[in-house]
Amino acid sequence: MVDGTRSAQQVLKAVRKHARRLGYTVEQLPKRGKGSHTIWVVLDTEGKEIGRIGLTGHAGQQSQAVTRSNENALEGLLGEGWLDK
CB 8, CB 62: distance < 8 Å: yes
Each residue's pLDDT expressed in tens, for the chain with a length of 85 residues: 777 889 999 999 999 999 999 999 999 999 777 778 899 999 999 999 999 999 988 889 998 988 999 999 999 999 999 998 8
Instruction: Report the pLDDT value the prediction gives residue 4, as an integer from 0 to 100.
Output: 82
Element counts in the chain: helices (H) and strands (E) = 2, 3
Q: pTM of the predicted model, to two decimals?
A: 0.89
